A and B are shown apart, each in its own frame.
Chain A
């Protein structure tokens, strides 16, 4: 069965410093991996996705993530945090099988705080 583990429930950074949100996955099949962001009282927005193409994936708002099969990791990074990045971030896995579009399995989320 597939799953994701977000290693930090809360990360706090200062504005202008790098962001690292860690995620490890477990999957029996070739996984599709995603990062979603949820601002307070808002819906879920797709930041980026990995679907077995390039291992370094660039997303919106300057975020990127690197798929490392040997480490079963898909950490999210950003060189310089903005105040507007403060939100909850979910690492998500979806298994690819039989050409169907599998449902999404969410991690527990990492709350990112950005200090001025």
Chain B
């Protein structure tokens, strides 16, 4: 079965650079969620989109923005990167008829030097 696809899987950036993470949800899933998991930490919710509209917002820094496109894929844009942004970024998707069941992608590991 198709799963959530995230790209790239690994990304190395320097401070103050920008990064774009991409997420391709499971086909027919209309909701996308982004989570950040720091080293040794639990995942923290950043932001979610339903039918291309932002549906909920968590602890996403102002330097980050995200959007969901017409094909339901989502991109997380990160600017002015800081050392503390080094983390594993997960995308999850869900479908309206499968209420509250989120399927996670493998994550993108971002390292900021």
Contact = CB atoms under 8 A, between A and B. Distances in A.
Interface in A22-42: 32, 36, 42
Contacts of A46: 101-104
Contacts of A100: 50, 55-56
B100 interface: yes
B84 interface: no
A101 B45 contact: no
B100 A94 contact: yes
Which of under 10, 10 to 19, 20 to 34, or 35 or more describes the interface residues of B?
20 to 34
Interface in B22-67: 31, 33, 35, 42-45, 48, 50, 55-56, 58
Given A44-B43, A104-B102, A107-B42, 8 more contacts: A36-B104, A44-B92, A44-B104, A46-B102, A101-B31, A101-B55, A101-B99, A104-B43
Interface residues of A, number: 22
21 contacts: A32-B100, A36-B104, A42-B106, A43-B90, A43-B104, A43-B107, A44-B90, A49-B101, A51-B100, A90-B42, A100-B55, A101-B50, A101-B96, A101-B102, A103-B33, A103-B48, A104-B33, A105-B45, A106-B43, A106-B44, A109-B42
